Amino acid sequence: MAQEYDVIVVGSGITGGWAAKEFTEKGFKTLVIERGRNVEHRGSEYTDMQAPWQIENRNLVPEDFDEQGRYQLIKQKGYFKGATKQFFADDKEHPYSYPDARPFKWVRSYQLGGRSVTWGRQSLRWGPKDFVANKKDGNGVPWPIGYEDLAPWYDYVESFIGVSANRDGLEDLPDGVFQKPWEMSCAEKVIAKNLRKAYSDRRLIIGRAANITEPTAEQMKLGRGQCQARAYCKRGCTFGGYFSSLSATLPAANNTGNLTLITNAIVERVDYDEKLGRASGVSIIDTLSKEKRSYKARVVFLCASALGSVQILLNSKSATFPNGIANSSGVVGRYIMDHFSGVLADGIVPGLDDKFATGRRPIATYIPNYRHENKDGVEFVRGYGFQATAQHRTKTPTHANKAGIGVDVKEVANQPGPWKFRAIMYGEMLPYFDNVASLHPTKTDQWGIPQLHIDARVRDNERKMIRQAAKDIGEILDVGGCVDINVNTTPEDRHIAIGDRIHEMGGACMGNDPNTSVLNKWAQAHDVDNLFVTDGACMSSCATQNPSLTYMAITVRAADYAAKLMQKGSL
C-alpha cells in the first residue's frame, strides 16, 4: 500500500523548499521528492573552503572532458568549473531533445537543493507594468494576478531569505524588505552619477542579492551567517551567507518534525483518481534500483523546475487526460520562454588610475528596463535591461590566456589594467504559443520516461530589441563617461540559444480562462483542484527581471491558499 501524506512536493529547489517550509510549519505532514542525490549543507560536495591549488586541475575543466558527449552545451557556461561541475546534470545521462538547428540550453541541477545551490541570487521584484503587459499588447495569456497580489508575499520572502539592496525608489522595480546593500565600485559610481544627470528613465543601481549582510535572529537560528564576499557562491556556501534550500527552507521545514525527504526518486507521473476527479499522489522510479513506488497525498505541488514540471504533466496520462493531466486546454508545454541576450558591450572608464579595488562582491550592477512604453519610435513591444559590472582593477590582471612567455609577460602583468565597464542585455521574450515542449514520440531516458523535446526560438520582435539595445547601450556607455566603447551583437542569421540565461519559464501558464490556460490565480490547476504548479512553468510572461523571487512569492501565496482550504476540509 502506498504511503500517505498531507502534501507531496515534487522538487527541492527554490520553490520546492519554500512549499515544504510553509506546509510543515502549518502542521501538515509533507513529503518532498527529489530526483537527484542527497547533498548535505556544508557537506563533502561543497568546495568553497578549498584553496585554488587544492582543486583538481586548478579548477579548470580538461579539454577532453566532454569527449564522450557529456555536458556539451552547459560546458559553454563560464561557471562550469572543476569546483562546481558536480552540481550540474550531465546531458548524456539525462538526455533531452531539440531541433538540430535550434539547440536549447537546458541547465539542470539534480541534487537536493536543485539549482538553489548554484543560482545567481539576483532578487528583483516584478513591477505593476510587468503583470499587465500581456493584456496590454495582446501577446500570450493575460495574467490573473497583479503586483498588489504578490507585494505582501514579496515582503514575506525577502524577510526570510535576506536580500541586500539599496532602496532606489523606482516605480517599475519596486523596493522591498532589504538589508544593507553592497557598494558600487568607483567606476560604477561615476557612470551611475552621469546617467542620473542625463536621463530621467535610465538608472544604474547596485544589484539586489540574496546574500546576507545583516543577519536576523531568524537567519542565525538556522545557522546562517553574514556573507563573506568570497565570490565562491556556486561552490556551495559553508557560511549559509546566500539563500538556498539547503541553508534555509529545508532546515526550517525539518525543524518542525513534519518533513519526510526522499532523494534519488524521479517522479514519473502524477496519479489521477478517475472516480474522485482529483490527483491521488505520484508514482516514482528509484534512480538507482529502478524500482517503482507510489505515494499518496491530499495535495500535490509540482516544483520540479519549469520544464521538469511540464514533462511530468505531459507524462501523467489517464482516461480523463489522454494528453497529460490538467491539459484539457491543450496549453501544457506551450509558451516556453527565457530571457535572451544578443548584445554585449564594454568601455573604459577614464580618470580613475589612482584607484584600485580589493576583495570581492557577490552581485553586479543593474540597469532596469526603461522601455515599458513604446517610445522613441521603436517597432517592438516589451523591453530589456542590462546586467553590468566594473568591479575590479588590479595590478596583476591574468594573462594566462594571452600569447607570450617569460620576462615580457611578467612585465605586462605588473602593469595595472584600466577600469572597464561591461554590460550584457537581458531581453523579455514574448510568450509564443508555438514555442513548445513536448514528449518525444520515440526517445526515452534510461528509466523509460519519454524525453522532453524543446523547440523554442526568438522572433522578429526580439531581433528588433537587439538592434535597439545595441544602440542604447552604446549611448549609455558614452553618456556614462566611457571611452573605447565596444558593442557586439549576435548576427541576425545566428540562432540565439534559449535557456542560455537559465531563466526558462512557461509551459503551464496562469490565466482566468480554463480554455486558454492551465492554472488559475492561485497556481492551482483549472482541471484538478488539488494540483498546484508554482515553479517557472506557471509564468504567463517573463518580464526582464530575474524571476526566482517571483517564483518564491507565488509559491508561498499558493501554499497559504491551499493550506486554508485543507484546514476547511475543501482539499
C-alpha cell of residue 155: 515582503
Burial of 276 (0-12, 13-18, 19+ CB in 10 A): exposed
**Which residues, including other chains, have CB under 8 Å from residue 541's CB and lie 6 or more apart?**
130, 133, 134, 139, 140, 143, 337, 428, 430, 431
Q: What is the C-alpha separation between 211 and 246, in angstroms, rounded?
A: 14
Q: Which of 344, 350, 343 is nearest to 482 (CA)?
A: 350
Q: How many residues does the chain have?
A: 571
- pLDDT means over runs of 10, the chain (571 residues): 91 98 98 97 93 86 66 70 88 92 92 95 97 97 98 98 98 97 96 97 97 97 95 92 97 98 98 97 97 98 98 98 98 98 96 86 96 88 96 59 72 79 97 98 97 97 96 98 96 89 96 98 98 98 97 98 97 93
pTM score: 0.96
CA distance 194 to 389: 16
Evaluate whether 339 touches 501 at the Cβ level (below 8 Å): yes
The pLDDT of residue 398 is 55
**Sequence-separated (6 or more) residues with CB below 8 Å from residue 222:** 240, 247, 248, 251, 252
SS (H, E, C) 148-179: HHHHHHHHHHHHHHCCECCCCCECCECCCCCE
Cβ distance 309 to 9 under 8 Å?
no
The three cell numbers locating residue 446: 534510461
CA angle 161–162–168, rounded 5-degree value = 125
Give the pLDDT confidence of 221-260 residue by residue, as tens digits. Answer: 999 999 999 888 989 999 999 999 999 999 999 999 999 9
**Residue carrying C-alpha cell 504559443:** 433
> CB burial class (10 A; 0-12, 13-18, 19+) of residue 290?
exposed
* Confidence at residue 357, expressed as pLDDT on a 0 to 100 scale: 80
Q: Give the residue carrying C-alpha cell 520553490.
A: 15
> What structural domains does the chain harbor?
1-126+251-337+432-456+504-541+552-571 (3.50.50.60)
pLDDT at position 69, please? 61
DSSP class per residue in 389-455: E-----SS---TTSS--THHHHHHHTSPPPPEEEEEEEEPPP--TT-EEEEEEEEE-TTSPEEEEEE
Residue in this structure with the C-alpha cell 521545514, named with its chain if needed: 253
